[in-house]
Amino acid sequence: VVAEPLVLVCNRGEIARRVLRTCAKLGIKSLSVYTKPDALAPHAREASFSVCLGDNPREYTNKERLLQIIREYGVTAVHPGYGFLSENEEFCEAVAEAGVEWLGPRAKTMHDFALKHVARGLAENAGVPVLTGSPLLSSVAEATTAAAKVGYPVLLKATGGGGGMGIYICRDQKDVEANFETSQKQGQAFFGNDGVFLEKYIEEAHHVEVQIFGDGEGGCVHLGERECSIQRRHQKVLEETPSPLVDSGLRSRLTEAAVSLGRSCCYRSAGTVEFLVDGITKDFFFLEVNARLQVEHGITEMVHGCVDIVEMQMRLQIPGLAPEGGVSQILKTLGGIETTGHAIEVRINGEDPARGFQPTPGDLGLVEFPVQSRELGVRVDSWVETGTRVSPHYDSLLAKLMVWAPTRQEAVQKMAVALQATKLQGTPNNLQLLKAVVDDSRFKAGDTTTKFLQGLNFQPRVVEVLAPGTQSSIQDWPGRTGMWHVGVPPSGPMDSLAHRTANALVGNEEDAAGLEFSVVGPTLRFHARTLIALTGAQCAGATLDGQPVGWWQSIQVSAGQVLALGAVNSSYGLRGYLAVAGGIDVPLYLGSRSTFPSGKFGGYQGRCLRMGDSLPLADPQEGAIRYAPLLLPPGCCPAPPTPCAGSPAGGAVQWEITCRLSSCGCCPAPPTPCAGSPAGGAVQWEVGVLPGPHADPDYVQTEFMDGTFYTQPYSVHYSSNRLGVRLEGPKPVWVRSDGGDGGTHPSNVHDHVYAIGAINFTGDHPVVLTVDGPSLGGFVCPATIISTELWKVGQMRPGDSVLFKKLDLAEAHTQLLTTDAKLAAIRSIARGEQGACTPSDVLKHVARAEATVRNGAAAVGAAASMPPSRPLIHRLPATDAHPGVEFRLAGDRYIQVEYGPMELDLTLRVRVHCLEEALKQAKVPGLLETSPGVRSCMIEYDMRTLHPARLLEILLSLDATLPQPHDMTLPSRIIKLPMAFDDKWTHGAIAKYMKSIRPEAPYLPSNIEYIAKNNLLDGGKDEVRDVLFSASYLVLGLGDVYLGAPCAVPMDPRHRIVTTKYNPARTFTEEGTVGIGGSYMCIYPMDSPGGYQLVGRTLPIWNTFGRAGPFSPSKPWLLQYFDQVQFYRVSEEELEALREQFSLGRHELNVTPAVFDVAAYTARCDLVKDEVQALKAKQRAGMDMQLAAEEASLARLAAKKAESPTANGPMSTDDEEDDSIWDTRPGCCKVMAMFTANVWDVCVKVGTRVAAGDVLVVLEAMKMETPITSPKAGTVVAVKAQQSKLASAGTLLVVVQEEP
C-alpha cells in the first residue's frame, strides 16, 4: 500500500511558494514550516498544514527539529528548495534513513560537489576542463605560495561556499593575506567547513551554466544553458537563456560536458553545472555544481514550453506519480523539448545599490507586480506583499521577475516594460539598478561579463541620509484626509506654509512629499542631479559641499553633492523644510505619504529618519530640474522674531500670530516690535482664531474670554510636539461646576470630534491640537486656530509666548484664498510659465494674485453673507418631536452639530447616524468628511467650494427630514475580548506619569481604587472589576485618542461608572490598554498620550497593513459603530500569548452578529430608572469628595511650584542610562547601526584607542558582513553593541571620544 504523499517544504520565501504551487497542481498535500519572523509570510498559510519552528530565526536549519516534524506528521517526501539545508549531506542522509524521499540528489553527490576541490577532481575525471588551481590550503603562507604559482589574479574560495560567500578576488599577495582568514571564517559560519583553496581568475569572464536532470541511475539530460554573468559580490543579478554569448558549437560542447559529468556521478533530479567562459577565446572551465534546484530555473522552464521542473522532481521520486513509461519517460520528455524564444530573469533584492548593496531589512509599504500569465510571457515568483517586513536574518531576495518573448530583443523590451510596472516601495531595493541594467546599451547588445556592473553608468535617484538631524520626517500636504472619523490624524507638515512654499519653489504639485526637521537639520548626499528648496526655520550654517546655501529659494544640486544643514537658528522658529523636484517617492498609506511616527506608519518606514536611510526620489515633471533657481525677494519671506526684552541670545521669543498678510509679499509680514521694546527686543505674533465650539457663555465665562484669553499671552511648555503644543498661562473661569455625565471636571464634555487647531483645555491646561493630535475626546475647546494661521504653531519653541486674536469668518476666507493664490503664483514662476522674472517681477505677480482674490471677495460681498463668527451660530430649540440642535463654529474648516442636552442619551447618537447617512446620500460638493461623537457630529468642509452659509442651510434642511430614532434597529456585533485586569502595563504607565508629570493626585497611585471612591462603590476594586466584566459596551465613536479606538458606553446604565480624566494628561499609555473616562470605555490602539483612568489591557485593535485576523488593508481597525464589546478575564501570561497569536492571525475572535434595537434598549432603561437615579445620587456624592481632594492636591502642587519653579518638572529619569547623554559631552562621537542586523563581532572595548577608519563593530545581515568603522581618531568610551545580539537601525553601538 502506497502512503498518501505529504511533502514537507523545508524552506521559506519564494522557493517555498514555488514548490507549494506544484504540490497544489498535483493534488499533493503539503506541509510548510516557518519561524516567528515569517509567521505572516505566504508560505506559512498556503500549505495544507504548517508548523511554527519557534522564535529563533535560524530554526530552518535545525535538523533534529525538522526530523521530529517528519516523524510526527508522517511526511513521505522532503523538498529542500535552495539554500538552508538543500545541500546538507547529513540532513539528506538522515531523511533517507527515515524512509522519506529527498527530492534532489543523493547525499554522496552533495558531499562530493559541496567540496569544490573534490568537485574539480570529479570534473577532470569526466573530461571537463578546469581552471588552474590549488588543493586545500591550511595557512596564509601556503596560500601566498600557491597564488604565486598559479599567477595573479586569483580567486580565493571557501570550499563549502555558495552564493558568493567566502569568495575574494586577490590581485596580489597583500590581498591573499588580508582575505584568507575571512574566507575561512565565512566558510565555517555559513557552511560548516573552513576549507579554502584558490584558482585562476579570468578577467573577461562569462558565467554560463547548464541545467541538467538525472534519473540517479546514470541517465542524464540537459535543458540548455543560462547566461548569469551580471553579478555583484559573486551573486547573480540577472540571468537569461539562451546565452547571447554561446553559439551552437560552444553550446554543444558545454552541454555535452555537463551531461557527461552528470552521468559519471549518477546524478539524480535537477541540478546545475556552472562554467566560466573566456569571452575572448571562448574556452570554458568547470566552476561548480549546484546539487539542488537552482534559483533561476524558472526561465529555463519558460523557454522549454513552461515545463514544470519541480513537478518532474516529484514524478521522479514520489511513488505513484511516475508517468506512463516510468522514470525513463521523464528524461525522454525533458530531453525532447525544443528550446523556443528567449527568457530573462531579474532578481529583486532588498539591498541598497547606493550604499554598496548593503542589506535593507524593513517594511514594504507597497508591492505591485505586472499582470502575469503564460500567454503574456510574464512570471513573478515572490514572497512579499504590501506590509511585508523584510527580516535581516535571511537572504535578501524579494522576488524574481521573468519574461519570455520570441526573440531576445523583444524579451529585453518586455522586461523594461515589466520593470516599469513593478513597484516595491518602503525599504530600499535594487529596482532602479535593474532598470539601468536592462536599459544599458551593452546589455541590449548581449555584451555582458562578470565585470558588467563595474562599467554601468548608474546614478540612483536617492538621497542618502548621512546624519538624520532631529525628528526629521517625510510629510506631504494636506496629509491623510478623510480618515478623521476613525481617529487617523492627517499628519503632514506642522508649518504647512513653509512646506507648500518649498514645493512651489521647485515647481512641484502641492501634494509632493518633502522633509520636515526640527532643531537640527539632516546631512544628506544626493546621488542624482535635482533641484531643491529650503524654507521654514533657517539653519545658519547650512552648506552644499562646504559652500553656504540660502533659504526661501530653489537650488540646483549635482549628483554626489552633500547638503549639511546643521542646527536651526534659535532666533527663528523650530522646524525647517526641504522640497526636492518631483518629491520623495515613499509609498502612499491611507492616501498620504506623511509620517505618523506614533502610529508607526507612513513616510519612510513609519518613523523619523535614521543614519543610512535612502530616500527615493520621484521622477520630476518633464524638465523640472532644468528650472532656473528662484529666489524669493525681500518682503516675501517670514522674518525671524526677535528675542523678548531681557532674554539672552537664543532665548525665548514672543509670538503674536496675526491674520495679516503682506500686501506685496509671498508670506506673512514681519512681526511688529513690542511697544517700548528696544531694537532687537521682543516681538508679537498674533494667532488668528475663531471662537468655538465650546466658549462663552455656555462653558467659559465671557469675562474670561474677552478679558483674559484674548488679551494675555500663554507660554509654550517644554512638553510640546507634533501631537499637540501644550501651553501654560491663565486658567479658565468655568460656567459649570462639573462635566455631568461627561466627567467630574468642568472641562469634561461628552466625547466629541476635535477640530485641527482646536485649543483644547484638558482640565485647566490648554493644548493646541495639531496635525498628529487625537481626533476624539471629552474636553472643552473654546477657540480654534484658523487653517492659514496654524503653520505658526509649528514654529513655536518652548518658552515662546502666544497671544490669541479673535477673527471672523470673512477674514479667514479671504486669507485662505489669498494664500492659495500667492503659492500658485510662485509655482507658476518657478515652472517658467511667466517667463524670466526679476525679483520685482516676482513681487508684482504675487501682489496681482492677492489683489484678484481680495477684489473678488469684495465684489460678492463675502463678509456680509457669512454666518456669525461666534461659538453658537444657530440653534433649534427642543420640541416634543425633536431633541433640539446646536450648530457650533469650529474654526474655518468645521461646523459641529450637537443634539439634545448634555446627557448620555443613545437615541441622540442614533440621530447623529441618521444625519451622516443623509449627508452621504446628498453628496454635497465641498463636504469632506463627517465624524460622529456621542451626541455630536463634526462636519469638515472646504470653504473654497462650499460656503459656510450654504452648508448651514443644507444641514438645517436635512435635519428637518431625519427619521425618528426611537423605533430604529441598527446592525451590530457582539465582540468578546480578553482583558488582564489591574495589570503590570497599566502600573508601568502610572509610575511613569508620577515620575515625570505629577507625583500625587486622587487617582494616584491606583486608578481603580480612585474609580471605586469616585462612585462610592462599597466593594472597592473588586466591585469595579465585576462591573467591567459584566458590562456590554456600545461603540459610539472611533478614534477616541487614535486609530479606531472606541468611545464606548455600557448599554446597561447601572454599569456606567463615572471618572474624571488625568489633569494634565499622561504622555504615555501602552497599546492595548483599557481606560475609563467620564462614562466611557476606550482601548488605546497604540502607545500614546491619554487621560483615561487605566483598568487593564486587551488585544491590539489596530493592524497597520491589515495582514492578519479581522483586519484588511482598507480597514486596519477592528471595531465599527454600534459594536458591543464584552470583556472576559485572563491572566497577564495568558494575555501575552493571546496577543501574539492574534497579531499573527492565529487567534479567532468570538464575534456574534447582533442588532441594536433602540426601542428595546429604551424599555430596559425604563425598567431600571429608579436604580439608576439612586446610583447617580451616590456617584454625585463620591464625585464631590474627589473633586475636593483634587483641589487640595492641585493647591499643594501649586505651593511647591511657588517655592521652587522646577518642582512640577520631571521628578526623575529612568534608571537605565540615556544614550542622549553623549550628545552633550564635548568631543564624543556616537557610532550607530545603519541598518537592522546581527552584531557579528565587537572589535573594541572601553579604553581602546582607534584611528579614523578602524573597525569598531561588524554587523551581519542577509548573509553579508558590514564593518562599522570609527569616523574619527580617539578613545572608545562606551560600547553598547553586544555580540550575537540584534541591533536595530539607529541603535547606538559605540561612543568614541575624539582626540584633542
Contact status, residue 274 vs residue 282, Cβ threshold 8 Å: no
Q: What is the grid cell recorded at 649?
A: 541670545
User: Residue 666 has what pLDDT?
Assistant: 52
Look at residue 845 in the predicted model and tell me its pLDDT: 79
Distance CA 718, CA 702 (A): 29
The least confident of 293-307, 558-572, 724-738 is 558-572
DSSP state at residue 1040: B
CA dihedral 684, 688, 692, 697 (to 10 degrees): 50
- Spatial distance between the Cα atoms of 471 and 477, rounded to a whole number of angstroms: 18
Over range 407-430, report the average pLDDT: 97
Confidence check: pLDDT of 610 > 60: yes
Average pLDDT over all residues of the chain: 89
Q: Which residues contact 116 (CB under 8 A, 6 or more apart)?
A: 157, 159, 160, 161, 197, 288
Confidence label for 836 from pLDDT (cuts 50, 70 and 90): confident
pLDDT bin (cut points 50, 70, 90) of residue 316 is very high
Report helix, strand or coil for 565. strand
Residue 657: pLDDT band with limits 50, 70, 90: very low
CA distance 373 to 378: 6
Instruction: Write out the three cell numbers for 528.
Output: 542624482
Q: What is the CB neighbour count within 10 angstroms for residue 816?
A: 19
Model pLDDT, residue 309 = 98
Helix (H) / strand (E) containing 899: strand 894-899
Place of cell 435635519: 959
Dihedral angle computed from the Cα positions of residues 1031, 1034, 1036 and 1038, in that order, rounded to the nearest 10 degrees = 80
Q: Is the pLDDT of residue 848 over 90?
A: no
Percent over 90 (pLDDT), the chain: 73
Helices (H), 691-838: 702-704, 809-830
970's CB contacts (< 8 A; 6+ apart) are 910, 913, 1122, 1155, 1156, 1158
| Mean pLDDT along residues 425-450 | 95
From residue 610, give the alpha-carbon distance in Å to each of 353, 622, 1259, 1286, 1291. 18, 31, 17, 17, 9
Instruction: Quote the pLDDT of residue 1220.
Output: 63
Task: Write phi, then psi, for 371 (nearest 5 degrees).
Answer: -60, 130
Report the amino acid identity of residue 758: A
- Cβ(95)–Cβ(78) under 8 Å? yes
pTM (2 d.p.): 0.86
Confidence band for 607, pLDDT divided at 50, 70 and 90: very high
CB 1037 within 8 A of CB 912: no
Residue 164 region, left (φ>0) first, then alpha (ψ -120 to 50), else beta?
Answer: left
Name residues whose C-beta falls within 8 Å of residue 197's C-beta, 6 or more positions apart in sequence: 116, 117, 133, 134, 135, 136, 137, 157, 159
Among 1157, 1290, 1172, which residue's Cα sits nearest to residue 1235? 1290
Stated length of the chain: 1300
* Other Cβ atoms within 10 Å of 1196 Cβ, number: 12
pLDDT of residue 1256 exceeding 90, the answer is: yes
Q: Which letter, b or e, does each residue of 516-542 get, where b requires 16 or more Cβ atoms within 10 Å of its Cβ?
A: bbbbbbbbbbbbbbbbbbbbbbbbeeb
934, 852 Cβ separation under 8 angstroms:
no
- Torsional class of 650: left (φ above 0), alpha (ψ -120 to 50), beta (otherwise): left
CB 501 within 8 A of CB 554: no
Chain-centroid distance of CA 1267 in Å reads: 27
- Looking at residue 815, the DSSP 8-state letter turns out to be H
Cβ atoms 1233, 1291 nearer than 8 A: yes
CA 575, CA 569: separation in Å to the nearest integer?
10
The closest alpha carbon to 730, from 702, 755, 758, 710, belongs to 710
Where does residue 52 rank: exposed (0-12), middle (13-18), buried (19+ CB within 10 A)? middle
C-alpha cell read off for 927 = 463636504
Strand, helix or coil for residue 700: strand
Name 613's Cβ contacts closer than 8 Å, sequence gap at least 6.
Answer: 464, 465, 468, 604, 605, 1289
Residues 6 or more apart whose CB falls under 8 angstroms from that of 208 comprise 225, 226, 227, 228, 229, 243, 245, 246, 254, 274, 275, 276, 277, 284
- How far from chain centre, in Å, is Cα 955? 39
pLDDT > 70 in the chain, percent:
92
Chain segment 1219-1237, per-residue pLDDT in tens: 666 766 778 889 988 666 7
Decide: 497 and 667 in contact? Cβ < 8 Å: yes
pLDDT, tens only, 786-828: 999 999 999 888 778 899 999 999 999 999 999 999 999 999 8
- Give the residue-averaged pLDDT of 21-43: 96
Gap between the Cα atoms of 1075 and 1070, Å rounded: 11
Four-residue CA torsion sign, 1100, 1104, 1107, 1111: positive
- Judge if the upstream peptide bond of residue 693 is cis by omega within 30 degrees of 0: yes
- For 663-672, the pLDDT digits (tens) are 334 544 444 4
CB 1235 within 8 Å of CB 1259: yes
Q: pLDDT tier at 681 (50, 70, 90 boundaries)?
A: very low
- Average pLDDT of 988-1012? 93
Distance CA 25, CA 306 (A): 14
Q: What is the pLDDT of residues 1056-1113, one digit of tens each?
A: 999 988 888 887 899 999 999 888 999 999 988 888 999 999 999 999 999 988 999 9
Non-local CB neighbours of 1185 within 8 Å, separated by 6+ positions: 1013
- The residue written with cell numbers 505513484 in the block is 320
The answer on pLDDT for 656 being more than 80 is no
Strand partners, 1250: 1274
* Burial call 938-966: b when 16+ CB within 10 Å, e when fewer: bbbbebeebbbeebbebbeebbeebeebe
